[in-house]
Structures are given as C-alpha cells and as structure tokens.
Amino acid sequence: MRVCDPRPFLKWAGGKGQLLGEFEARLPRAVKEGRVSAYVEPFAGGGAVYFHITSKYAFEERHIFDTNEDLILAYTVVRNDVDDLIEVLRDMETAYLNLDAEKREEFYYTVRREYNKERSSIQLNNYSKAWIPRAADLIFLNRTCFNGLFRVNSEGSFNVPAGRYRNPKILHEELLRSDSELLENTGIHHGDFSSSAPFVDEETFVYFDPPYRPLNRSSSFTSYSKGGFGDDEQRRLAAFYRDLDARGAMLMLSNSDPKNQDPSDNFFDELYAGYCIERVPARRMINSNADRRGEINEVIITNYRPGITDRQVSLSVLDPGPLP
C-alpha cells in the first residue's frame, strides 16, 4: 500500500503539475475505461503526467524516454535500488543540515564539482551500483541549487549556483518508495522521441511534452541537455506525430502558444492542421525576471476529439472541416 501518491521526485523546469486537470479532462475515454494497453511518453522530463496518469489508470505496458542521460539514470536508480539511494541521501541530508551557511555552500560546490568530474566516467550503457551515488548527487543538487533548476552548459556540465534555503528537505523517503513501486514495471529508455516508435501501436496512448518553443528569446530554457530543440526539431516531431496517428495510436501533445507574443503566429496551427488544437491558461513559473512570470496560454493538441462518447477516432479519418 502506497503511503503517498506518486509524483515527481525532481523539480524540473517545464513541469506539468498545474495542467494535470486539463490533460486528464482530455484523456480518451478508452484510457479511462482501461481499454488502452500501453502508455508511452517520449519526453519524460520531471514525469508529472507519467506519475499522475499511470498511477490512476491501468496500462499493461509503460515506457518513458528522454535525451537527458542523468535524468534517465535517476529514474533507473529509483526503480532498481531505492533502498540504497535512500541511505545515501539520508547521509547527505544529515551532513548538509548540520553545517552553517558558509559550509553548506562549500559542500554544495564540492558535490557539483565531483558530479561534473564523474560525468565522463559513468558507463550509461550498463547499469551498475556506481549509478546510485550519482543519482543521489543529482537529487541533492536539485534540492539545494538556485530555484531548483537543472541546467547544463555547452559541455554538458551542471552549472546552477547554490541556493539559500534554511532547511531544505533533501530526502523524501515515502515519495521515492512510491515512485519506485510505479516505475517497477516501466521501461526507462535513453533516446530522443523517435526511439519510442517500436513501442507504439493502435492500443497505445502517447503524451508528448517536448521542450517548449520559447515565447521570446529570454524565455528559452533549452539547456536541460546539450542539444537544442528548435523549429526544425518541432517540425520533425510533427511529422512523427502524424506517423503515429497513421498507426492508430491516441496522441496528446502540449506546447507553448506563440500567439501569447504574436497573435499572427500560426506556427502550431499550421504544423498540426487537421488535429484538435485547444488553448488553455497556465502560469509560466520560470523566468529570471519575476515580472515576466504570469498567466499565458498553452496549446493541447490531440488526434481525437476530447469528450467524444464512443471509442476515440483519429482525426485523420474524420471530415477535415471545422472542429466543434
């Protein structure tokens, strides 16, 4: 029996916790009735949607993907060795909280330096116990760095400065155990979104949460992994979306709405023409300038009509006329 509900164990920019209600309201009826066999998420990120949907609805198979190697490493350790991970985090938390502010900062930068130094020596192709302290370091840095960001430079090194928190909670034991239980029967894969193709058929629900198209130059937060995700990648993703639609899979994708800045910007309307595109309010929480945080619209794109009463039908076989 779970002591707490599964939810993200990392704070991750672009996390979808605030939009879970919007996504759940638009799930295919087949998902809610347990008639979909597989859940696939090609951009795992912090996992808010994965943890919420797969803990609430039954799937025979679950698969998550991400290009961020350390994120995939952390998910794998939580799944495979949660007890050992908890013990390492417990020791780190005790040591850190017993220090004064100056010593805490030294502790943080020592962990960050070793974390970056060990990056090239970690064998990510084969799971080993060496992954456990690295996952612990990532969780520690995430809990104690400035604003809880994960950001790397062009060389792939984590470069977020230390935060100033009075009593940060580094170990969330009950949460880690709950997440580990859910991840136990989940395939965890390192790769870009196209790597998910072999796991998708007509009995699959796929949720896409790609790096968002920036609302403006200052809001671009694409440095969670070394590669960027520009408009060409967005177009490649749209082509992949159409390929999975042709297989009969049920698809949902979310992204920032460029019309927040330019009402004439039809980038996504044109890219996903023929599909159901809805705009929902959200709050942008990450910006170095607090004045630029606030309510914006995001787009939710599905290849079925949310709320349809019978089995979900791909829009590719519907009349392409105006959607109700």
Predicted model pTM: 0.89
- The pLDDT of residue 315 is 52
Element housing 51 (H / E): helix 48-56
- Does 121 fall in a domain? yes
Q: Phi and psi dihedrals of 127, rounded to 5?
A: -65, 140
Q: Is residue 35 part of a domain?
A: yes
Total count of domains within the chain:
2
User: What is the per-residue pLDDT for 167?
Assistant: 92
Residue 52 class from Cβ within 10 Å (0-12 exposed, 13-18 middle, 19+ buried)? buried
Same domain, 196 and 224: yes
Contacts of 226 (CB under 8 A, 6+ apart): 152, 154, 155, 156
User: For position 290, which CATH number holds?
Assistant: 3.40.50.150
- Both 60 and 204 in one domain: the answer is yes
- For 128-179, what is each residue's pLDDT tens digit? 999 999 999 999 999 999 988 888 888 889 999 999 999 999 999 999 999 9
Q: How far apart are CA 266 and CA 264, in angstroms?
A: 6
For the domain that residue 117 is a member of, what is the CATH number? 1.10.1020.10
How confident is the model at residue 310, as a pLDDT?
A: 37
Regarding whether 57 and 102 lie in a shared domain, the answer is no
Q: Is residue 75 part of a domain?
A: no
Cβ neighbours of residue 163 closer than 8 Å, sequence gap 6 or more = 144, 145, 146, 147, 148
Q: Which domain holds residue 103?
A: 81-167
Domain end residue (candidates: 134, 151, 167): 167
Calculate the alpha carbon distances from 264 to 110, 157, 213, 257, 267 in Å.
Answer: 49, 38, 16, 11, 9
Rounded to whole angstroms, what are the CA distances from 65 to 118, 147, 230, 264? 23, 25, 19, 33
Same domain, 41 and 157: no
Give the integer Cα–Cα distance in Å for 300 and 120.
38
The answer on 150 and 296 residing in a single domain is: no
Identify whether 271 is part of a domain: yes
**Residues in the chain with pLDDT values less than 50:** 217-222, 286-292, 309-313, 316-324
Q: Is position 5 within any domain? A: no
Q: Output the CA torsion sign for 109, 111, 113, 116.
A: negative
